[in-house]
Amino acid sequence: MTNSIQAIRGFNDILPADSKTLRQIESQLIAIANQYHYQEIRIPIVEKYDLFSRSIGDFTDIVNKEMYCFNDRNNQMLALRPEGTAGCVRAALQHKILDNNSLCRLWYLGPMFRYERPQKGRARQFNQFSIEAFAMPSGSIDVELIHIAKRIFERLSLPLTLEINWLGEKSCRLRFQEKLVAYFKSHESALTADEVERLHHNPIRLLDSKNPIVQELCREAPQLVDSLSSQQREQFDHYRQLLDDCSIKYTINPNLVRGLDYYNGAVFEWTTQALGSQSAVCAGGRYDGLIHDLGGKPNHAAGFSIGIERLYELYQCHHERSDNQPDVYIIGLGQSSQATCLSLSEKLHDECQNIRSFFACEQTSSLKTQLKKADKLGAQWVFIIGEYETNQATYQLKNMRHPERSHQGSLTECLTRIKENHAEESS
């Protein structure tokens, strides 16, 4: 194995036991998005570099340090997408989905790429489920997005905490930045070189620093809410009142600023203490200026993204590992039984769609060996098909857990017994 090729660091294989549960979780997310009349859009993994530098911001860590960038053969600078919102907006503009301020609700699911230090809850290739709503100026859509995320977590029986903040309009943030720069300059000696650079180019990002010294400084730092205009304060009050009226519990986090420059107004995160430092499972907010920044007419937009891997880790913390055992194992003894076994397998798939069957396609192993394999896989039922069963059109059905429920008879009788037992256990 010394010469074998390994996966790239931070790019993880997802094996069958995990894939099944992930698929079930993703199906729940999609079902809820469809309930709220969001439609799927599929966008490219590779985009022009400029799309992200213009939308996310030149001085963000994502653009400066984390994007996978390369020149193609036409010397065009391209990038693997680090997030999906910019590509979704680009697609909506390119295909004129937003013409005439048409209401538009979209969802997408897929891999994103960031060159970060791999650790638990953070990989260089990771998956996100995202929802985007366009041309909806009312604060109601901000609350509906929180409702959707809340419904997802309730459906999966996951306890999370909602944190909110209000970033205001651009003029408010500029006033706030001036106060923030003045404050941190008086403490510049406590900052690292990277933090000093951030102070000069993107000072608001200091508020979500993981450095304990900076976190302590943030407790005494100016707060964004004090720089909001009276109109923005009213909108924030209205947003909170809507949440209160909908009985949605939340905490105001004045240091919640989001890592992408395009956000304005309401921002939120759903967090957990179960995943250590990678506490945010879902994050989103309003980004009214992004459409105009990418060449469209000014329009309203809001959305959120859920980190699939973090959601799965949290799901594992609160649920037993899913059952990946087959319900039925088919044993064929000898060459003459193979066609009968294949027909039986297809019959099971036709008539028992909620029951998982496994045909080993073995001809030479003994009955004892195959029964051991069926038991190791955890199969409850075993069909044993040999030359006698093939010639007589009869079937031997063995129950590995309750031998008294075993049966020998017609295929209809055997399938009925399996379905009745499955119904009993599912009820």
Report domain extents, the chain: 16-169+229-318, 177-227, 328-426
Q: Is 321 a residue whose pLDDT tops 80?
A: no
Beta strand spans in 173-322 (E): 251-252, 264-271, 280-286, 301-307
Q: Is 182 exposed, middle or buried (0-12, 13-18, 19+ CB in 10 A)?
A: exposed
Full DSSP string of 298-343: ---EEEEEEEHHHHHHHHHHHSPPPP---SEEEEE-SGGGHHHHHH
Q: Is 336 a residue whose pLDDT tops 90?
A: no
CA gap 246, 151 in Å, rounded: 13
Residues composing the chain: 427
pLDDT for 337-382, tens place per residue?
888 888 888 988 888 877 888 887 776 678 888 888 888 888 889 9
pLDDT for 243-262, tens place per residue?
999 999 999 998 888 766 78
- pTM for the full model? 0.78
CA gap 280, 255 in Å, rounded: 14
Q: Is 322 a residue whose pLDDT tops 60?
A: no
Residue among 338, 379, 385 nearest 355 (CA): 379
List strands edge to edge, sheet with 407-409: 357-359, 328-332, 381-385, 395-399, 407-409
* Number of neighbouring beta carbons within 10 Å of residue 106: 22
Q: Is 421 a residue whose pLDDT tops 90?
A: no
Percent of the chain with pLDDT over 70: 96
Are 158 and 150 in contact, with CB atoms under 8 Å apart?
no
Q: Determine the pLDDT at residue 102.
A: 78
Q: Determine the pLDDT at residue 326.
A: 84
Q: Determine the pLDDT at residue 5.
A: 94
Are 302 and 142 in contact, with CB atoms under 8 Å apart?
yes
CA gap 306, 274 in Å, rounded: 16
Mean pLDDT across the chain, nearest whole number?
Answer: 89
Radius of gyration of the chain (CA): 28
For residue 164, the cross-strand partners are 252, 268
CA gap 167, 102 in Å, rounded: 26
pLDDT for 393-413, tens place per residue?
888 999 988 888 899 998 889
Highest mean pLDDT among 131-145, 265-279, 363-377: 131-145
Query: What integer is the mean pLDDT of 19-40?
Result: 95
CATH superfamily, domain 328-426, is Anticodon-binding domain (3.40.50.800)
Amino acid identity of residue 157, one-letter, is S
Domains 16-169+229-318 and 328-426 share a fold: no
Q: Determine the pLDDT at residue 172.
A: 87
Of 31-35, 91-95, 200-204, 226-230, the range with the lowest mean pLDDT is 200-204
Residue 324: which pLDDT band, with cuts at 50, 70 and 90? Answer: low
Percent of the chain with pLDDT over 90: 52
Q: Determine the pLDDT at residue 363.
A: 65
Greater model confidence, 25 or 174: 25
Highest mean pLDDT among 32-36, 101-105, 165-169: 32-36
pLDDT for 72-97, tens place per residue?
999 999 999 999 999 999 999 999 99
CATH superfamily, domain 16-169+229-318, is Bira Bifunctional Protein; Domain 2 (3.30.930.10)
* Number of neighbouring beta carbons within 10 Å of residue 16: 7
Q: Determine the pLDDT at residue 299.
A: 93
Cβ-based neighbours of 214, under 8 Å, separated by 6 or more = 190, 191, 195, 206
Greater model confidence, 164 or 351: 164
Residue 278: which pLDDT band, with cuts at 50, 70 and 90? Answer: low
Q: Is 332 a residue whose pLDDT tops 80?
A: yes
Q: Determine the pLDDT at residue 260.
A: 64
Q: Is 142 a residue whose pLDDT tops 60?
A: yes
Residue 161: which pLDDT band, with cuts at 50, 70 and 90? Answer: very high
Q: Determine the pLDDT at residue 111.
A: 98
